[in-house]
Homo-oligomer: A and B are copies of this chain.
Amino acid sequence: MEKFLRYGMVGGDIKAFIGGVHRRAIAMDPRAKLVAGAFSIVPELHVQTADAYHIDADRRYDDYKTMAEKESQRPDGIDWVSICTPNFLHYQIAKEFLEHGINVVCEKPLCFTEEEAKELVELAAKKNLVFAMTYTYTGYTMVKLAREMIAKGKIGKIVSMNVEYVQDWLVGSLDPANQKATTLSVWRSDPKYSGISNCIGDIGTHAENLLHYLTGLNIKRIVATTDKYGMALDLNSNMILEYENGVRAGFWCSQVACGHFNGLVARIFGDKGALEWSQEYPDDLLYTPVGEPTETMKRGSSYTKVYEAGNLSRLPVGHPEGLTTAFANIYRNVITTILKKKNGEKLTPADLDFQNAENGLDGVHFIHKAIESAEKGTWVKY
């Protein structure tokens, strides 16, 4: 009976943002320990990171291929790898670890083409491996609560939806002078590194994923516009999404919306009520039963305990949990799932409540369909 897991990381050196988030989120759970890594292609950063995390000398790998091979051969090899590299490397690294029989946790987007995505989905299935995607926002307790409320009919039949994910950090790119000068902007707009889309790929996919996670609804048809403002790739996009059952959703993502930082907001309207959740205030969930006042539901409060999701908190009501905890909630389920699989225990739907490679494939499909609609200037079937 295994109680602990070992994990490795590719990318995520100590200067990178998202690698640290993964490590701190996993560290909230005493059941897993970082033991191996290929943290950076810059040798000093790789060494500094390995030092900071006490990685043994023989598990500091110069490249991910060696890491996958060596770890797969050790009796105490890693149980999973967390991939925190730039997006264009996800596919090849994920594939390598899967082929060596190692579970994968991958940042989104999964990869750039649907062919690659399908290959990874099939490879994970064939190898019977866990392939988790860190769609961060599905980890928040109040998102899970909203999902459960919808499933239990608290807002009735869905009739309309609205989602936006808006930021302002690329507003500087609107100035033609910066379009050449800014390394960041150039990188963001280089198809080699960002695929066919910048904004939709980076944040729009989170918004689409969130609506699907909350409601289970699938898109049938889409119309989109993209705004490049002189850059090679999109910085802003408006869409109308038509789901099965004819439900329509307004959709907007932007990286040039002054005053917005990480503004992911989902609103779901049914014939019996409505729900609204905003990422920047993640412990609150606004619920309006039809004909009643809007209620501000608070994570951790007694009245949320009637829901399964209401019992997932680590902190009491009024003590903000934040994004690292949302990440930790994803990893909690991934760790439980991998542990149970190792121990031959039965998995429950609650254990498997994390986004996987199929959701990653959905994201890639979404990007391609949105870009297709914008380029053709028409509705496109999904």
The distance in angstroms between the C-alpha atoms of A273 and B289, with both chains bound, is 20
Using a CB-CB cutoff of 8 Å, which residues 293-328 of chain A contact chain B? 293-298, 300-303, 314-325
Question: Which residues of the partner chain B approach A187 to less than 8 Å between Cβ atoms?
Answer: none
Q: Is A258 an interface residue (CB 8 A)?
A: yes
Task: Please give me the residue from chain B that is nearest to A17 by CB atom.
Answer: B316
Q: Are A261 and B324 in contact (CB under 8 A)?
A: no
Q: Are A160 and B27 in contact (CB under 8 A)?
A: no
Question: Which residues of the partner chain B approach A105 to less than 8 Å between Cβ atoms?
Answer: none
Q: Is A86 an interface residue (CB 8 A)?
A: no
Q: Is A286 an interface residue (CB 8 A)?
A: yes
Given contacts A28-B24, A318-B261, A238 and B227 within 8 Å (CB-CB): no
Fill in one digit per residue for A212-223: 1 if any B CB lies within 8 Å of its CB, else 0: 000000000001
Q: Is A129 an interface residue (CB 8 A)?
A: no
**How many copies of this kind of chain does the complex include?**
4
Q: Are B175 and A271 in contact (CB under 8 A)?
A: yes
The distance in angstroms between the C-alpha atoms of A313 and B128, with both chains bound, is 39
Question: Which residues of the partner chain B approach A280 to less than 8 Å between Cβ atoms?
Answer: 283, 318, 320
Given contacts A27-B24, A319-B262, A301 and B290 within 8 Å (CB-CB): no
Q: Are B291 and A293 in contact (CB under 8 A)?
A: no
Contact of A320 among B249, B260, B282 (CB under 8 A): B282
Q: Is A193 an interface residue (CB 8 A)?
A: no
Task: Please give me the residue from chain B that is nearest to A285 by CB atom.
Answer: B293
Task: Please give me the residue from chain B that is nearest to A175 by CB atom.
Answer: B271
Question: Which residues of the partner chain B approach A267 to less than 8 Å between Cβ atoms?
Answer: 257
| Partner-binding segment picked from A58-66, A115-123, A240-248 | A240-248
Q: Is A153 an interface residue (CB 8 A)?
A: no
The distance in angstroms between the C-alpha atoms of A273 and B296, with both chains bound, is 15
Q: Are A290 and B323 in contact (CB under 8 A)?
A: no
Question: Which residues of the partner chain B approach A248 to less than 8 Å between Cβ atoms?
Answer: 225, 227, 236, 238
Q: Is A52 an interface residue (CB 8 A)?
A: yes
Q: Is A256 an interface residue (CB 8 A)?
A: yes
Question: Which residues of the partner chain B approach A51 to less than 8 Å between Cβ atoms?
Answer: 3
Contact of A242 among B54, B155, B225 (CB under 8 A): B225
A373 to chain B, nearest CB (A): 10
The 3 closest A-B pairs by CB, nearest first: A322-B322, A261-B318, A262-B318
Report which A residues bind B (CB closer than 8 A).
Answer: 3-4, 17, 20-21, 23-24, 27-28, 30-31, 51-54, 155, 157, 159-160, 162, 164, 167-168, 171, 174-175, 223, 225, 227, 229, 236, 238-240, 242, 246, 248-252, 254, 256-263, 267, 269-274, 276, 279-283, 286-298, 300-303, 314-325, 377-379
